[in-house]
Structure 1
């Protein structure tokens, strides 16, 4: 149980209101957000309504889904930075899905510190994975991929594509899609999504 002083202090940040506004602006439902964070829609709803204050690890999981930094929830909108540099050593590496051993790719957010951005940019490294094991996903918007190294398999709907170094592709990310590395060589790509 929080003391009234702590309760009042946390309410001033309006974390729940900021989360709800961000989620609605990005057109993400509570169920989808829950699927991406591993948190229940009921818990997320309580956070949005100010009935529960998230722990920092929980808030970070949410922030990563929306590609914002923790500061998004703690700074005044008028004081947010318009220019943001993410140094190589500042990037954090995450698996495609939390809490699983069978990972098809890892990603690093390249625009982590920027807020109110119009796109999301990632550096992705792909693991060798049988095409049958690829877990398709989909999200609102479009996606652009530029292969930096190696050979990448990409399934969009029922269509399979093979991309090699310096190939690029643009597609509707509302379609189910998934990726896998082909061969033993390192495979990395720049992935940009626009909601």
Structure 2
């Protein structure tokens, strides 16, 4: 006799005063075994294409063309012994196949996969448009509602910040400087200087691309997906 399915308990509400991270679908999985296999496969493919055909490598290594094809396409799970034979046929030490095996350096973020964060006012939000915060920089797409002012949350942090106004008009305050930024304007500055933004546009909202290096997540939110 089967037991009744457990009732799903809803997650606790977001505490007041903290940014809310909107759920996203289809976020890329964390690097793991699949990435390592793909890394080895790319190295085998790059070494082979300059020397021989897939059929020639199959003959020299004594490995089926099907296995080689799957490996070069990032799938399969060849044994160390098989990889050693492949490396020998390619004229390299087997360690060469692993030394450079690392997650892909090109990572695509689809529009529907972006991490979206809504600030406590419920109107101001931004999206993180890089895969994660482990790289050298982070890019945020900000949407500032009409009348927005960040004066009460002025920031100062190590690094460099770049702002490009996509739509509307923004007023950037850096220490005692005030810079009026229109659509298409861009500015780069030392983020250690105290800075904040005001939406001075007559539009209902303004949008800006903000790139920071090293990366961080504004508003104290965690970078969880």
- Is 1:139 the counterpart of 2:162? The answer is no
- Is 1:101 the counterpart of 2:121? The answer is yes
Deviation at 1:134, TM superposition (A): 4.2
Q: Structure 2 length as normaliser, TM-score? A: 0.47
Q: Distance in 1 between matches of 2:29 and 2:156?
A: 25
Paired residues, what number? 126
Q: Structure 1 length as normaliser, TM-score? A: 0.53
- Is 1:166 the counterpart of 2:184? The answer is yes
Q: Distance in 2 between matches of 1:132 and 1:86?
A: 28
In the alignment, which residue of structure 2 is the partner of 1:18? none
* Structure 2: gaps spanning 5 or more residues: 1-17, 22-27, 37-100, 215-225
Q: Distance in 2 between matches of 1:138 and 1:102?
A: 24
Greater share of helix = 1
Using CA pairs under 8 Å that are at least 6 residues apart, name the structure with larger relative contact order, 1 or 2.
Answer: 2
Deviation at 1:142, TM superposition (A): 0.5
CA deviation string 1:71-94 (max 9, x = no partner): 37x789964332111001111321
* Structure 1: gaps spanning 5 or more residues: 1-37, 39-56, 61-68
Q: Counterpart of 1:146 in 2: which secondary structure?
A: strand
Root mean square deviation of aligned Cα: 3.3
Deviation at 1:184, TM superposition (A): 3.1
- Is 1:179 the counterpart of 2:197? The answer is yes
CA deviation string 1:65-119 (max 9, x = no partner): xxxx8837x7899643321110011113213x5xx3276x421111125x64221
In the alignment, which residue of structure 1 is the partner of 2:166? 148
Deviation at 1:180, TM superposition (A): 2.0
Bigger Cα Rg: 2
Deviation at 1:181, TM superposition (A): 1.3
Structure 1 stretches of 4+ with a deviation exceeding 4 A read 74-79, 130-134
Q: Distance in 1 between matches of 2:182 and 2:161?
A: 17
In the alignment, which residue of structure 2 is the partner of 1:128? 146
Please tell me whether the aligned partners of residues 127 and 180 of structure 1 are also in contact (alpha carbons under 8 angstroms): no
Please tell me whether the aligned partners of residues 151 and 197 of structure 2 are also in contact (alpha carbons under 8 angstroms): no
Q: Counterpart of 1:187 in 2: which secondary structure?
A: strand
Q: Counterpart of 1:94 in 2: which secondary structure?
A: strand
In the alignment, which residue of structure 1 is the partner of 2:59? none
